[in-house]
Structure 1
Amino acid sequence: MNEIRKVPPDAVHVWRGFRSKDKTQQQFEEFLGSVFVPGCSLLQPNAGLHAYIPSLPQNEGKPPTVPDQSALMFWTSQQTYHDAFKCVAVRCYTNLHGDLYDTSRSSAGFPVLLPEADLLVETPYFLVDAPADWMSGDVVHYIGARNQNVSPEIFRAHILKWAKNLLPMSGLEGGLLCVGENYLVAWTLWPKGKSSSTCFAPLKDFTTTWLDQASEHFELGHGLWEDWTGIPMTAPNSLNIQLHRTLDI
């Protein structure tokens, strides 16, 4: 049953992943598609996962300071996320991270409300203080690298200004961002069929774009015990996995 289910804006884990040096890009994408993304999509909804949006930026030429993968994982609440680790299925999935990522560089966290001033590095923020269902709407995702002629401080100031200017846009239902020293990841949520294709255009004045893409609604047509190669994860892409949300946890 996948009726509209809105969750709080701070109930999302914002993931920025850097590929393990033990994996080539091809191996990274193959493991994501055959094991990691299907595992998250099928093992975690019964523990309270409400939406899952994994993405890959363009890889060729991308600087190593920009994440190799991003993901949003929405839960019923932050407490639901913590309680999920009581489940063997969730612990099994989580244990896969060390096989895929450089865990010393990769990170995830729950967001806080966008401040009036001074964005902090590696701190996720939500822009719209209202519950939303990110699986049912249209998501647009941006990954960019800071241009070298822009200082980190000016970079963060530009991003904050962009975010504040975005808020009055008609139809905006949600927004998330996280700024690193040298990169930005940002997402916007719109009613289905009404997304803005230009919402990230101002960011391109001071960033180099590595992903600017609407997340494809991807239907899960197979289960854990079926003959199935997995979910296509070839850069660049962004998927809004249509989870089977069978439990209202």
Structure 2
Amino acid sequence: MNSTIELLAPRYDIAWYPWAVQYFFMIAVSYASLWLAAPALIFGKKAWLPTARLALIACVSTTLVAPVALLADLHQPLRFWHFYAYANTHSWMSIGSVVLPLYLVSVLGLAWLAWRPALQAQRNAPGLSGWMAKWLSLGDSATPRALVAIVGVAALLLSSGIMLYTGAELAIVKARPLWNTVWLPPMLVATGFIAAAGLVLVLNQVSGLCSHATVRQTLYVLLAFCAVAGLIAASWFLDGINANVGSVAAALESVR
């Protein structure tokens, strides 16, 4: 006796292309890395300095790469000016087009202020490295600690805007029931911190720094945000299963 099993699956149009997915991942790692660098760079916690050095490298790298992925997702990158010519305050994407450049500038400004003393120390080095250090350090005057704190706080505030707009931009997509929930934005933030902590742990090993303080601090962050992600997932499930609607209903329906 022959039996036939027929598999049926709904067909969805692509909501986000792969470049956009990379952007959401990279920008989450970026703002989470910034917060990992904040205790030492902004608030002067010297115990966090080894972690801050690695976190700032991760932050700058992902901050530079993320907008490239976002522009690539437009398929016609020169269209980015449409966001400014036809601004829409009711569009999270339009709001993000304002917040993202400001965040990028603030991160680069903070990184320059943090790395400036090291650049100044290399001003007299021979060859190209000395010339680059002299050019990038912009003089030999001391870097005001207050300026570092001000730029850092501005970057943290703008990073909060990035958290809000990226999460909301996904959560309003009604074509994807699993995304269409208020629990998605905090979950993106939690998983961003998990990824950033993991990246700092990797950098700590491959760089040869092997700081025990960094391992302890980042593992604490990693475990804490794993717990937060678990609480968010549980809250999402309990919130949805009682009403039997929305993203939880869609998730249960997909496995029945």
Could you state the TM-score of these two structures normalised by the residue count of structure 2? 0.24
More relative contact order, 1 or 2 (CA 8 Å, 6+ apart): 1
* Structure richer in strand, relative to its length: 1
Query: Greater CA radius of gyration, 1 or 2?
Result: 2
Could you state the TM-score of these two structures normalised by the residue count of structure 1? 0.25
* Structure richer in helix, relative to its length: 2
